Amino acid sequence: MTKPLLQIALDSLTLEKAVADAKQAEDVVEIIEVGTILACAEGMKAVKTLRALHPNHIIVCDLKTTDGGAILAKMAFESGADWLTVSAAAHPATKAACKKVADEFNAANPTLKVKKEIQIEIYGNWTFEDAKEWVELGVKQAIYHRSRDAELAGKGWVAEDIEKMKTLSEIGLELSITGGIIPQDIHLFKEIKNTKAFIAGRALVGSTGKETANAIREEIAKYW
């Protein structure tokens, strides 16, 4: 049970804003994510720039890959991403294509400090049977979102979310958890053994961003 990492999701519309936000957060996060919005706005230039500025951070490229897996994975990894998100809704062949590209990168670069990995981002109608298939494919990581409806309705995490995450963890997936993460919620996840990371976006930027990040880190240290 390793200590969960903290990940900042950069979802600004411009690279200039993103590099400023990343710079401010660099001392308090282990993972920097080029969010879907930033990636769609600026393209792979965003990944390349953040890779160059943060050589010692894990860089996630959040494309929520749904098709064209081999090409998108190659593009993201060559641009400097360590981890790539792949939509749970993608066809199994697309997931397999992304995984294959990651494996080939790792085989060709045996000294990589951080291995290339794909993360299944859980969206749509999915089942635990699907999750077992991901593990059988060799996938190690998944991303769990709080129900957006719940979030928009101002509801907190519900027991059903926690139970699903526990089951996914038992199936063998390391989980990154996201959806309005605040320091006060961290204790809710203490029973999820394979918590890989907590992902936050706007909470970690602006004048209170660093303070919030440190508060989350303190909570993590209490429970893991």
Residues in touch with its own copies (CB under 8 A): 11, 13, 35-37, 39-46, 63-64, 66-68, 71-72, 75-76, 87-94, 121, 123-127, 130, 145, 147-149, 152
Rounded to the nearest whole angstrom, what is the least distance from the CB of residue 68 to its own copies in the complex?
Answer: 5
Residue with smaller CB distance to its own copies, 150 or 215: 150
Exposed e or buried b for every residue in 147-168, given b needs 16+ CB within 10 A? Answer: eeebeeeeeebeeebbebbbeb
Residue with smaller CB distance to its own copies, 28 or 89: 89
**Sign of the dihedral through C-alpha 70, 75, 79, 84:** negative
Residue with smaller CB distance to its own copies, 75 or 192: 75
Residue with smaller CB distance to its own copies, 75 or 216: 75
Q: Tell me if residue 198 falls in helix, strand or coil.
A: strand
- Strand stretches in the chain, DSSP E: 5-10, 31-34, 58-65, 83-87, 117-121, 141-145, 174-178, 195-200
Residue with smaller CB distance to its own copies, 86 or 220: 86
Antiparallel, parallel or unpaired: β 83-87 and 174-178: unpaired
Residue 176 CA to residue 6 CA, distance in Å, equals 9
Rounded to the nearest whole angstrom, what is the least distance from the CB of residue 29 to its own copies in the complex?
Answer: 20
Rounded to the nearest whole angstrom, what is the least distance from the CB of residue 191 to its own copies in the complex?
Answer: 26
Rounded to the nearest whole angstrom, what is the least distance from the CB of residue 201 to its own copies in the complex?
Answer: 10
Structure tokens at 213: 């990040």
CA distances from 116 to 107, 194, 218, 221 (A): 10, 19, 29, 27
Q: Which amino acid is at 87?
A: S
Residue with smaller CB distance to its own copies, 96 or 215: 96
